[in-house]
Amino acid sequence: MDEETEQAIRRHLATTVMNRPFGQLPENIFPKLSIESAMQMVTEGIAKARQLDADIRAANESWVLVHIAKAVSDGAILPEAEKQILTLLQRQPELCGRVPAEPETMQFVLANCPDIFEYLVAQVDSAERRSEIVSNSIVSPLTVGRHNALVKSVIGFAGQLSSAALLKYLDAIEATCRLQQKSDAQAYYVRSSCRLFHIAISENASLVDDIFIQLSSFCLSFLRIKAAADLYKSLVELRPK
């Protein structure tokens, strides 16, 4: 065995198999190391590293799920816990698919952890689950904070949402707008929701037929607001003849 190969194996043994700094490995640990022995040690080191990685990932998953459940139960979350959850989700994106999507959890996450909600929406692996997350996060009426966080999270995926999720959002927006009575806040809700719907139907014209009646009725109720008038025009143009 040449010196360079021996040093490479020695370094691997120190850092992976023995979990010790390279410089602390005894010089006489393998004075007569054969190629077969070296390969066996390397193989064992790789297996150990893989098992360690699997253990860490399992521990991270447990930590995320336990702390999300605790936050939902407590109705509050510490900033440190929120930051750590997001960090672990970013480190292991596959965990996004394991976070419970039921209404209680999603409504809490949207209201209290908008950055986590946005990441969940972006990272899920199917349009069906994304629609489930969005639909289950919606409450009526919507506060400005919830609405802003929701629109920010889904605006890039509007065309992928199901018609059921969009209609649930529309119902919440209508209920919210009825409480505002021609105020600046009402105009803001109308403009921002119309922007989302405009993107949705532009990206996926097949949605128009499913939501035409409800969405056109909403637009006609707020024709004094330009965004609603423009959206109604687009609906009519895109509706299948």
**pLDDT tens figures, 187-197:** 999 999 999 99
Lowest mean per-residue pLDDT among 16-25, 38-47, 168-177: 16-25
Residue 25 confidence (pLDDT) above 70: no
Closest by Cα among 159, 86, 167, 97 to 133: 97
With beta carbons less than 8 A apart as the criterion, state whether 107 and 74 touch.
Answer: no
**Which tens digit of pLDDT belongs to each residue from 114-138?**
999 999 999 998 999 999 999 999 9
Q: Is the dihedral of CA 147, 149, 150, 156 positive or negative?
A: positive
With beta carbons less than 8 A apart as the criterion, state whether 194 and 228 touch.
Answer: yes
The CB density around residue 85, as the number of other CB atoms within 10 Å, is: 25
At residue 125, the pLDDT reads 86
Residue 22 confidence (pLDDT) above 50: no
With beta carbons less than 8 A apart as the criterion, state whether 178 and 225 touch.
Answer: no
Residue 169 confidence (pLDDT) above 50: yes
pTM summary value? 0.78
Closest by Cα among 105, 96, 103 to 73: 105
